[in-house]
Copies of this chain bind each other. A is one copy, B any other.
Amino acid sequence: MPQLDRPDEFSLIAKVFAPLSAEAPGAFGLTDDAAVFCPGEGMELVLTVDAIVEGVHFLASDPAGSVAQKLLRVNLSDLAAKGASPRGYLLVTSWRADTTLAWIEEFADGLRRDQQSFGIALWGGDTVSTPGPLSFSLTAIGEVPRGRMLRRSGANVGDDIYVSGTIGDGALGLAAAEGQLGGALDDVQWLVDRYRCPHPRNALGPRLIGLASASLDISDGLMADLTHLCECSAVGARIEAPLVPLSPAAIRAVEANSSWFGTALTGGDDYELLFTAPPAKAALIEAAARETGTPVTRIGVVVSPEEGINAVDSQGSPITFGRLGFKHF
């Protein structure tokens, strides 16, 4: 095993990670066995966890800071989809023997930047060594008004279907990172950045409580996650494909090769919100979008379960996709 400049576990926690807990009194500077947190009056806790593995969810060559930010943001995206406001997180890091202190510090710096952006702090964690790939898991904790968490179930026939932001940038960004996507260098880099570092919709999410009838975030792909929402709600869905919002870079990719449109609608890693709401809420949803600076687009309508889940083209004909979304094995 190579001699490393890396401090031992306790020093690493004290020097690199404890500063990330400074804003959370219940984290005790990471010096105790556990963290303590008391939700506000009338609030309850929302908890979610996601893990990423080198070679599976990120590449060894990805910048450490963006690996950390993606790990944090995919969890924040789950909280946003549930209408929860993020409060803190617990972090498990599995370092290889040859992971350098510089890499770990860059990883922690990515977290530090995002903590400021999203108003959260590190509450605790665990640090282990592994003979395998770098692996991380992160538990994010948020708060919602009691009994009001947005669910995947709850969509009703006749509800509008909305997405935030643009769809497909994550999947096209992965293709770009793997060198499969041609086009202008600026577009390629922008899409790669979108894949590496999603922008969870934490400003919009809590505003959807009382408006959205069902909600989730798009991680497996628009059509796959729409299917999850429909199954939980026992409804069908009709997406009008021309309404699905694409970024300028994605539009140019699709113009060059129309098969990327299927990738955009079925690929994963969007981390945009997909939600349903009764038509009567349309004006309030527009207001929430405007006030939080979050683009929101109506892309279809909830239909009866017998009609199934379809995306239709401008002639109203169903589009067939080769695959429906990302499965982890």
Residues of A within 8 A of B (CB): 6, 8-10, 28, 31-39, 44-53, 55-57, 78-79, 81-82, 84, 90-92, 94-95, 97, 123-133, 135, 137, 139, 141-142, 144, 146, 149, 151-153, 216-217, 232, 327-329
Contacts and interface: CB of A to CB of B under 8 A. Distances in A.
B79 A34 contact: yes
A117 B246 CA distance: 52
A129 B39 CA distance: 34
Contact of A133 (B57, B130, B137): B130
Contact of A38 (B45, B91, B132): B45
A9 B327 contact: yes
Nearest to A43: B38
Q: How many monomers of this protein are in the complex?
A: 2
A55 B97 CA distance: 14
Contacts of A10: 327
Given A48-B34, A152-B31, A56 B129 contact: yes
B129 A47 contact: no
Contact of A137 (B84, B92, B144): B92
A128 B51 contact: yes
A82 B128 contact: no
A151 B130 CA distance: 30
Contacts of A34: 46-48, 78-79, 81-82, 84, 142, 149
Contacts of A91: 49
Nearest to A328: B9
A141 B47 contact: yes
Contact of A232 (B31, B79, B329): B31
A56 B129 CA distance: 8
A126 B35 CA distance: 22
A78 B126 CA distance: 12
Contact of A51 (B36, B48, B92, B97): B92
A311 B57 CA distance: 48
A124 B33 contact: no
Nearest to A28: B151
Given A34-B48, A124-B48, A149-B36, A53 B130 contact: yes
Nearest to A50: B126
A63 B151 CA distance: 37
Contacts of A97: 329
Contacts of A36: 44-47, 82, 144, 149
Contact of A94 (B47, B125, B129, B135): B135
